Structure 1
Amino acid sequence: MKFTTLANALLFAGTVAAAPGTAMRRARATRQSKPMIPVDGITALDGPNNSHVEYSGNWAGAVLVGTGYTSVTGTFTVPSPTTDGSGSAWVGIDGDTCGTAILQTGIDWTRSGSKTTYDAWYPDYAYDFSGISLAAGNVVTVTVTATSKTGGTAVIKNTSTGKTVTHTFSNEASLGSLCEYNAEWIVEDFDSGGSQVSFANFGTVSFTGASAVQSGTTVGVTGASIIDIKQDTTVLTDCSLSGSSGVTLSGYAGHLVCSACGGGLSSTLPSLDRGVCILPATEEAIEPQPSVSKLPHR
């Protein structure tokens, strides 16, 4: 998985009109979505709900890899984070195995104390989406469509309020061209001010009606690669596919990847005693195994 260059103008997010205050708007101007950051050393292991999981430092979700992806859509309920911090849910084209451009649209959330704010965005620098507001529990459909490799549309529809916003891109060749290699349904720990934000426990984000258009044919998520966020030694998400059109992501803390034990997951933090990984009483101790090599993206 690699990503080389992208013009910042295609990555910065715009806020909805309801975003509170000038200070928040200035902070949002530094908000940046990033390509997937693979985690070195452990990228394909058993997860709680999946037989095969890849790990990333910033993305969790499902990615289809192929050619000819020109549209991606999904519907989810705006989450209510349970811890302070931020996060983002979006759909996109490219950004995993394509190194030139990415087309995304989605929402961000930020919780601070008892207050949670939400922002709807598309990839452009500090652009205000007007005429839409978001709240926990709203049902949102997000769609991106590439009309060419240098143009397309981003659409967010709040089906709970009946409001829809759309932005059209055209002739963006100077900012990079899409490869149309990837279709994505993602929760992200995005960047702000040059570093990743504190990642809130977002609860659950379930994409339903998840589909993509590939070479003119609508396809579901069957066969998608599953990605979870792993930072340091802790796995922060749990992603699984639900049939052919569902992607379910849960946020949680406390699942530790024990590298000395071949990368096994534990629901509580195991200890390492004389080279043996001591797991909770319901699990057997596992002798250390050689480090798991990074597997190439298929």
Structure 2
Amino acid sequence: MKFTAALAAAVLAGVATAAPERGLEARLKARASTKSSRPLQSVDRPSTVKNQTNVEYSSNWSGAVLVEPPSAAATYTAVTGTFTVPEPTGSGSGSQAASAWVGIDGDTYGNAILQTGVDFTIEDGEVSFDAWYEWYPDYAYDFSGIDISAGDEIVAIVESYSSTSGIAIIENKSTGQKVSKTLSSSSNLGGQNAEWIVEDFEEGGSLVNLVDFGTVTFTGAVAAVAGGSTVGLEDATIIEIEDESGQVVTDVTIDSDSSVTITYV
């Protein structure tokens, strides 16, 4: 599968260009006007975990990452993944949340991240979902014009046109709704990393309480590289979330060259 201008045009046929929505609704959201993803925040391997090849630990990311491009001339230019929106569970008052997304950069290259995905939040017992896009270090912005529910099949795509411009696309295949946003930034992408992630994201300068998201499986996980070829997950590094108490709270399995499963444990 090639990620080119032709692909973007095909995906965007009939797509509404969504206006950004940032903290406009009265209802409480885990992601308010200061919602933001962060680059990978590495932590030491827990002492209770045996050494494993291609497994790293983080306070905020869990999933699969291609940590370097195939060659200096073949940097990552696009990432796609399909997942089913989970039904998060939790109890008590307050907010718990997580986000599933695909992106370019943010692991070994932290200057910028082009990413898009879906938040799943429980706020005082009420579940909500939001589709969003972000060019870090700017904040994340919610898409409007798309509805998300548990069980929906979501296709997420990011593609860079250059180091400072690109596009984020979310398609809800269960409803037929599609939205996109063309982006530009003064923070250059490096094209060094490609990711399929569930994140404990940041709001107001600190990580949100990670919700029990059950299981998120990315299928059709493909990264495009400059020159037109594509790569899968064969050489991906697994990232697990380790919480402040030193407990590993996710379990990641690369099921195939195009599928990775992230489970809350």
TM range (shorter): 0.7 to 0.9
Listed one character per residue, the Cα deviations across residues 63-121 of structure 1 (whole Å, up to 9, x for unaligned) are 00223100000000000112251000000000001132110000111113542101110
Amino acid at match of 2:118: I
* Alignment partners' CA distance in 1, 2:256 and 2:30: 41
Identify which of structures 1 and 2 has the higher relative contact order when contacts are C-alpha pairs closer than 8 Å and 6+ apart.
2
Q: CA deviation at 1:25?
A: 6.2
Q: Is 1:236 aligned with 2:236?
A: no
Listed one character per residue, the Cα deviations across residues 152-190 of structure 1 (whole Å, up to 9, x for unaligned) are 0000000000000000013x23xx100000000000001
Q: Give the aligned partner of residue 65 of structure 1.
A: 67
Q: Is 1:205 aligned with 2:205?
A: no
Listed one character per residue, the Cα deviations across residues 26-72 of structure 1 (whole Å, up to 9, x for unaligned) are 9521111111000035499548xx76521100000000022310000
* Alignment partners' CA distance in 2, 1:59 and 1:168: 25
Amino acid at match of 2:241: I
- Aligned in 2, Cα 1:69/1:45: closer, same or farther, shift over 3 Å? farther
- Aligned in 2, Cα 1:32/1:127: closer, same or farther, shift over 3 Å? closer
Q: Is 1:81 aligned with 2:92?
A: no
Matches within 5 A, 1:55-204: 55-67=57-69, 68-84=75-91, 85-123=96-134, 125=139, 127-170=141-184, 172-173=185-186, 176-204=187-215
Q: CA deviation at 1:126?
A: 6.1
| Alignment coverage as a number of residue pairs | 232
Q: Give the aligned partner of residue 259 of structure 2.
A: 246
Contact 1:15 1:120 (8 Å CA) reproduced: no
Structure 2 gap ranges (5+): 1-19, 70-74
- TM-score for the superposition, normalised by structure 2: 0.81
Q: Give the aligned partner of residue 8 of structure 1.
A: none
SS at match of 1:247: strand
* Alignment partners' CA distance in 2, 1:51 and 1:100: 26
Q: 1:220 aligns with which of 218, 232, 240?
A: 232
Q: CA deviation at 1:15?
A: 5.2
* Alignment partners' CA distance in 1, 2:116 and 2:80: 10
Pick the structure with greater CA Rg.
1
* Alignment partners' CA distance in 2, 1:72 and 1:86: 24
Structure 1 gap ranges (5+): 1-13, 253-298
- Aligned in 2, Cα 1:180/1:51: closer, same or farther, shift over 3 Å? closer
Q: 1:40 aligns with which of 41, 44, 63?
A: 44
Contact 1:15 1:119 (8 Å CA) reproduced: no
* Alignment partners' CA distance in 2, 1:97 and 1:78: 28
